């Protein structure tokens, strides 16, 4: 995991050429479900979209390092965090100010809700023509960051 954190601090240009980083990210891109593997993101997607690129611009480096170090989170959580950073930056910044544990809790819960649908092999087979966002919308999974009072 320490290797992964160190690679996370390398510039974007270096990230796209570093084979170890690419392998680490790719290993988090395949979501296991017993004997079935559902690939949500291809290597091409990961290189083009650069997970956490939006969140890195908004959140403190300490927060990004903490998120990257959490084994409970996979690459999908990074995309959730980027989504929140893009569409709800104020809410995400407020959540960060509450502490890393609160942010991790929200992110983990959202990841679990989304992956319950996305890694289901029956849904994946029927819905492979849909985007991830369309699949979540079809199953009425909210993709928004909703802070509890």
pLDDT band at 38 (very low <50, low <70, confident <90, very high): low
CA distance 10 to 136: 32
Q: In the prediction, which pLDDT does 146 show? A: 85
Q: In percent, how much of the chain has pLDDT > 70? A: 68
Predicted local confidence at residue 125, as pLDDT:
80
Provide the H-helix boundaries in the chain. Answer: 2-8, 12-17, 19-29, 43-49, 53-58, 61-69, 75-87, 89-98, 100-118, 121-126, 132-138
pLDDT at 96 > cutoff 80: yes
Distance between CA 84 and CA 80 in Å, rounded? 6
Q: What percent of the chain has pLDDT over 90?
A: 51
pLDDT at 48: 72
Residue of 149, 144, 85, 70 whose CA lies nearest to 114: 144
Residue 127 has pLDDT above 70, yes or no: yes
Could you report the per-residue pLDDT of 73-84, keeping only the tens digit for each?
Answer: 988 999 999 999
Rg (CA), the chain: 15
> Mean pLDDT over residues 44-54, rounded?
77
As a whole number, mean pLDDT of residues 45-65 equals 88
Higher-pLDDT residue of 141, 43: 141
| Whole-Å CA distances, 115 to 15, 75, 77, 107 | 26, 11, 10, 12
In whole numbers, what is the pLDDT of the chain averaged over residues? Answer: 78
Is 80 exceeded by the pLDDT of residue 10?
no
């Amino acid at each position: 995991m320490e290797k992964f954190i160190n690679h996370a601090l390398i510039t974007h240009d270096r990230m796209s050429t570093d084979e170890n980083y690419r392998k680490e990210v790719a290993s988090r891109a395949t979501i296991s479900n017993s004997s079935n593997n559902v690939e949500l993101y291809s290597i091409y997607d990961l290189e083009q979209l650069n997970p956490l690129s939006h969140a890195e611009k908004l959140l403190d480096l300490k927060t990004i390092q903490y998120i990257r170090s959490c084994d409970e989170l996979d690459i999908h959580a990074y995309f959730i965090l980027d989504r929140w950073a893009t569409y709800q930056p104020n809410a995400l910044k407020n959540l960060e100010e509450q502490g890393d544990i609160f942010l991790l809790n929200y992110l983990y819960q959202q990841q679990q809700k989304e992956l319950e649908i996305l890694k289901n092999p029956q849904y994946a087979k029927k819905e492979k023509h849909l985007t991830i966002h369309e699949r979540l919308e079809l199953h009425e999974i909210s993709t928004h960051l909703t802070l509890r009072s």
